[in-house]
Chain A
Amino acid sequence: MAKVIEIKDVNTNFYTYEGIIKALDSVSLTIDHGSTFGLVGESGCGKSVTARSIMRIVQEPGKIESGKILFYPDPNKNGEGVDLLQKPESYMRDLRGDKISMIFQEPNSALNPIFTIGFQISESLLFHRKKELCQSVVDDLGKTGNGLFIPLSALLKKIYEIGARNPEALLLGLFSRIPILKRWDRLLKKKALNRSIELIDDLGIPNPQEVVKLYPHNLSGGMKQRVVIAIALACHPVLLIADEATSNLDVTIQAQILNLLKELKKKEISSVLLITHDLGVVAHTCDRVGVMYAGQLCEVADVRDIFENPRHPYTSALLGSVPKLLQKKTLQSIEGNVPNLVNPPEGCRFHPRCQYKTDICSEKAPPMEEVGTNHSVACYHHLSG
């Protein structure tokens, strides 16, 4: 299957006062077109940093040190991927929100409190779809009887034709500074707003015409999360990253959002990187799963294999710590704590908590090894299937 993104040996560090936090240590993973990849692990194991590294929006004081993030935008054209880490910021700006977009964890803080919902969704369209929007305004103006004063309508049409040819034209910037023509983009904004209304209507938000005029604090958590999803979906991304998209919602809303994502994946988006610490969500939605521990990827496999046949001791322990409905025994937890990433343990980072450890575990980090079909694991003593 064609790849959509291939991450190779990415290292991301955070430079804090306590020292350098090695948040990602040689993480490599591949996501295929049309698949849903689940990334699981405890809090602070580097899941979100992986997502942010892909989009290159790691916040201060974080820095992507090395590695390659190869992006293949078109599934039919197999060839060299684009290394996102080598591209200039302007390229990334055009990519973010258009080809790759992201849903954030906390809908309450992911939206800007002082802008309307409509503005926040249309913004994304105005960044990436200005050309198409201008063209459709031109088409509208071409039709007669739009109620505008005729010479003005002709002038506006001219302006939008410039926009349809080159949305970054200097002339448009100039128009925005001339007092009367300053508001030339009103039709454009209206167009974008109408698109936003359609978009949130599709996501099942009742009363979309009214909702776009509201502010985030007027909406409930589930509605806000739908708005966040609408922002991410506005330009039909090739890769959608859902960073704990449902973690802070209650179970019914969570199920709604997950089903929504599943449905959307069929129609609109190509592939999803789903970040979560909830194994139930993984079982429900993912095709492939990557398990992370302390900034390293320790096991990657198809979703059935992970649940039926976990090979890494950590994966197996993680699965053991999930409560089951008919459970009789006490719930198992993993002994010890997540290591401090300023001074991670030598060798395999899981060894201090691992019951299968031997001397080699604390000396050399185990390499990623293929142990079955599409199943790789980084462990010297991987559990037999």
Chain B
Amino acid sequence: MASYILRRLFFLIFVLFGISVIVFGIMMSFGPERRAAAYITTPQQINAIPEIIKTYGLDDPFVIQYVRWIKEISKGNFGWSRYGAMPVWDALLTYLPITIELNLFAAPLTIILGIWLGTRAGIHKNTFIDHVTRITSVIGWSLPTFLFGLILLMVFYGLTQWFPPGVLDDKFIREIIQHPDRFTAYTGMYTVDGILNNRWDITLNALRHLVLPVMTQVVVVVAVLVRVMRSSMIEEMSKEFVLTARAKGASERTVNLLHVKKNALIPAVTVAGWLVALSLQGSIAVEIIFNRPGIGQWTAASAIALEMAPVMGMCVFLAIVYLTTNLIIDILYAVIDPRIRLE
């Protein structure tokens, strides 16, 4: 197992190389002028474009520019993010925790809820429970994120003031800015930092801000998992080993929750892993509606402004996320299914 993981991590280097070439190639398909435009901020600088191209070597051959880019990256320099007004690496460290914080709560909830509901719906196929689960999950799935988020915001903030948007109450933010020595940002996630700094009031407040975005994220995403788990349960329930188990004298509960469910989990694990990887690129709608400056907002804004550096950085980051998720899924497969051996 350990050697398998090491080997997979080793191959990651080659995959990353491939991805970086592709991403860089796409970026290079823009002309040097277009890329130089990202450096100018005022109309007066337009005349400076040829100079910028020359200084930064934007019309050099592909290989040279690529090697230059890789060299800078290996030094930790991912470039400058104009939207964030800071280096890309710092921007990533600033925005990413906010997205991760959301998924830290949304992902386990989605997986637990999705598998639980899917299992129940599968066992009680075509009964009231099944219909209710399916109808609700389809409604959740087909409601646009922004609409559902806005409705939640209207009810729980507009009408009742229970769960405000944003990341933290203003008074706490002010306190943190004014006394940086009292509150250390270990992770950038206020819920976790609050505990680490022994400031439970901040953690609780951050959690209050998280309720609505987490709810939106879960409701929108969970339907996929419910459907996969349900159909996988139904498929496994018709297999012959179920009859063997029943003929052995197993109770309905043992048959469904041990024999069937463990088999049915195999496809669900793939979907769950994929959903988590997908949410790590940040849901733009959730982040904008609930005013959480996460990585989705940042990537979208950077891409619109054609900022090469952040987009490339993001691509490399997402590649790493997807590859690690795939590795984790493969390991989980081997844990659940003995037929799959990691070699």
Question: At the interface with chain B, which of A78-86, A95-103, A196-204, A278-286?
Answer: A95-103
Q: Kindly list chain B residues whose C-beta atoms are within 8 Å of the C-beta of A111.
A: 241, 244
Contact residues, A102-125 vs B (CB, 8 A): 102, 104-106, 109-116, 120, 123-124
Contact flags (1/0) for A212-254 with B, using CB distance below 8 Å?
Answer: 0001010000000000100110000000000000000000000
Q: Kindly list chain B residues whose C-beta atoms are within 8 Å of the C-beta of A57.
A: 243, 246-247
Q: What is the CB-to-nearest-CB distance from B48 to chain A, in angstroms, rounded to a whole number?
A: 65
Contact residues, B204-246 vs A (CB, 8 A): 238-241, 243-246
Name A104's contact: one of B238, B244, B252, B339 (CB within 8 Å): B244
Q: Kindly list chain A residues whose C-beta atoms are within 8 Å of the C-beta of B243.
A: 52, 57, 59, 102, 104, 110
Tell whether, in the assembled complex, residue B241 and residue A231 are in contact, meaning their CB atoms are under 8 Å apart: no
Contact residues, A50-66 vs B (CB, 8 A): 52, 55, 57, 59
Which secondary structure dominates where chain B touches chain A?
helix
Tell whether, in the assembled complex, residue B338 and residue A112 are in contact, meaning their CB atoms are under 8 Å apart: no
Tell whether, in the assembled complex, residue B241 and residue A109 are in contact, meaning their CB atoms are under 8 Å apart: yes
Name A114's contact: one of B238, B248, B249, B262 (CB within 8 Å): B262
Tell whether, in the assembled complex, residue B336 and residue A59 are in contact, meaning their CB atoms are under 8 Å apart: no
Kindly report which residue of chain B lies nearest to residue A94, judged by CB atoms: B249
Tell whether, in the assembled complex, residue A112 and residue B241 are in contact, meaning their CB atoms are under 8 Å apart: yes
A127 at the interface (CB under 8 A from B): yes
Q: Kindly list chain B residues whose C-beta atoms are within 8 Å of the C-beta of A55.
A: 247
Tell whether, in the assembled complex, residue B247 and residue A101 are in contact, meaning their CB atoms are under 8 Å apart: yes
B82 at the interface (CB under 8 A from A): no
Given A97-B248, A101-B247, A113-B339, CB of A59 within 8 Å of CB of B238: yes
Q: Kindly list chain A residues whose C-beta atoms are within 8 Å of the C-beta of B184.
A: none
Q: What is the CB-to-nearest-CB distance from A289 to chain B, in angstroms, rounded to a whole number?
A: 24
Kindly report which residue of chain A lies nearest to residue B247, judged by CB atoms: A102
Q: What is the CB-to-nearest-CB distance from A281 to chain B, in angstroms, rounded to a whole number?
A: 21
Given A114-B262, A114-B263, A215-B338, CB of A93 within 8 Å of CB of B251: yes
Tell whether, in the assembled complex, residue A98 and residue B249 are in contact, meaning their CB atoms are under 8 Å apart: yes
Q: Kindly list chain B residues whose C-beta atoms are within 8 Å of the C-beta of A217.
A: 338-339
B169 at the interface (CB under 8 A from A): no
A288 at the interface (CB under 8 A from B): no
Distance in angstroms between the alpha carbons of A116 and B337 in the assembled complex: 11
Tell whether, in the assembled complex, residue B259 and residue A112 are in contact, meaning their CB atoms are under 8 Å apart: yes
Q: Kindly list chain B residues whose C-beta atoms are within 8 Å of the C-beta of A89.
A: 252
Distance in angstroms between the alpha carbons of A59 and B240 in the assembled complex: 10
Tell whether, in the assembled complex, residue A114 and residue B250 are in contact, meaning their CB atoms are under 8 Å apart: no
A351 at the interface (CB under 8 A from B): no
Tell whether, in the assembled complex, residue A109 and residue B240 are in contact, meaning their CB atoms are under 8 Å apart: yes
A47 at the interface (CB under 8 A from B): no
Q: What is the CB-to-nearest-CB distance from B108 to chain A, in angstroms, rounded to a whole number?
A: 22
Distance in angstroms between the alpha carbons of A123 and B338 in the assembled complex: 19
A128 at the interface (CB under 8 A from B): yes
Distance in angstroms between the alpha carbons of A57 and B242 in the assembled complex: 10
Tell whether, in the assembled complex, residue B240 and residue A97 are in contact, meaning their CB atoms are under 8 Å apart: no
Tell whether, in the assembled complex, residue B338 and residue A110 are in contact, meaning their CB atoms are under 8 Å apart: no
10 contacts between A and B (CB under 8 A): A93-B251, A97-B247, A97-B249, A98-B249, A104-B240, A112-B263, A116-B338, A124-B249, A127-B249, A217-B339
Shortest Cβ-Cβ A-B pairs, 10 listed: A97-B249, A97-B248, A109-B240, A112-B241, A127-B249, A102-B247, A215-B338, A96-B249, A124-B248, A110-B244
